Amino acid sequence: MDAMGYEGKFYYGTAGATATNLVENVVDLTYDKDTERGSTTIRGDGTKPPIVTSRVTGLKPTITWTMLNRTADTQLAAFRAAAATGAAVAVRTKDHASGKGFDGDVTLTEKEGQPLHGEQTFEFTAEATREFRQPQLYI
């Protein structure tokens, strides 16, 4: 069966422990698994340009999500405070109730949206930190 976006789970918590508080005020969420690479290109025999090659030197998970500006939402307030101060928080993503995803501590950046013809939103981008624990990528 195909999994639908609304079936994904997103949790928040205190840095240093797995996040367990379900965040419901999420419109869209994207979990990116990028890589950093080091060049392994060699010049070869000099008769033609070399073919560029590389090797993975690091994994870079990034989570981006959008929340509606609900003034009484304490989780939104906590994410905004963390983004404003640079404090780490714990997040956990799952692609469905018992699914795979990210489990770790992150630092946040924030974008505020105030479209003329729509609801106000906050978009957060999370990057992993290992200040309190090692992040886990469940695949």
Answer whether residue 1 shows pLDDT above 80.
Answer: no
- Calculate mean pLDDT across residues 119-127: 98
- At residue 72, the pLDDT reads 96
What is the DSSP code (8-state) at residue 97? Answer: T
Using 50, 70 and 90 to split pLDDT, how confident is the model at 2?
confident
Residues in a beta bridge with 76: none
Residue type, 129: T
